[in-house]
Structure 1
Amino acid sequence: MNTRIAAFFDATNMLSDVTSGRFVSVYSKINNKWKAVDRFTLSEVVFSSIDQPELYAKELLKQLGNIDVIVAKSFGDLYYNEFLKNNVAVATAHNFGKGLLKKIESQYISGKKEIKVDGEFKVPANPTAVDSQGQYFLDLISLQKDYPGVTAKEVLLPFISKDRFSTLNIRASKSIPWLDTFLETKHLDSFVSKINGRYMITVTRKLCGDN
């Protein structure tokens, strides 16, 4: 049976992260040569569920159909788990070039589900981009469930310090006491809401005139 590999690409047709891709091409062997057999523009349903990893994976796989491996530059720490739960292998690569599909297929056939192509496989513990306007989301509850040793500080301090976002939404099981003090040093604000016992912490830039 032919291996079917789905690759994520951005608007410039370069390999992209799994949550920032705009197109997905599906490759399979025809007459023993790799060919693109399908190309999808990701649906609005998929994009609208990007802050819900389980639903995102479900809707994406529904759109793609029968897929064995998904390849992207990187996978948000929660998304790759959802693909694995759905029996889809994940592969990371910096560039999409000749020979990449052969390398992925070789490792997949050998039974690997987390595939190294041109670098060490690493699960990034970073907030995920929701759109191109600087909005990010982090499900700290799911992250700490999968990686009990990971702390909010380890994930949030490096990300916030880079100051490359406009809004960051954090889903958490409890408040983060140190966060407000740290945000003050970065001239950022936070707003907290509580829904069904869970916290949603929204970090934004201070409005003009705020102290």
Structure 2
Amino acid sequence: MNKKIAVTCDENNTLTDFIGLSHIIIFENDNNDWYIRKRFPFNFTNIKTTQEIRDYTRNLILKLDDCQIIASMSINGLIYNVFDRMKFAIFEIDKLDKNMLNKIITDIYKSLHQINSNVSVPTVPVETTDGIYYLDLIKLQKAYPDISSKKALRKFIDTTPFMRLDLVCSHIPAWLKTSEYDSKLEISTKKSGSSLLASINKKCADYSHSY
């Protein structure tokens, strides 16, 4: 587990909740000390509808790269649900300092064995919001080496109506680049730490089988 924690901060770099959020700071520990790995502006100003909140939260998660820990003064409702469904470790904290960051990591390590023994790794894409699915192919194949990318994805792509599939992988599976699927799918990619995040959409010609 990497030691990266995303924290919600206001414009004064002070801990805040998602209402007062001005930007996100990602702290990383290099086994000696904490330092700021990444800082970027982000807020939910003028975001009102349920769908907007879900979409903005998912956009935020994409910006966090391989960070899987979120800490805030308060996190609940739809925002909490999206982070929870994306398997984030979620913490509500009342102060921001090195001791608190260390405590978060300690708490995670203490519960890691229990989490690993009680939470199964999804073997098929999981719907995170209406029509949008997610699968971490790297975690899947580490947990189940006998499950190939084709076994995990082909039936889903062929039979499931979806708007977008977000796939974490080390590379795009070669079979998705064949003519059979090249005519059906649009695939865009971006680096996510040492992994690749692929967003897969059905082309217009195939929308008769989707939403």
What TM-score does the superposition give when structure 1 sets the normalisation length? 0.47
Higher helix share: 2
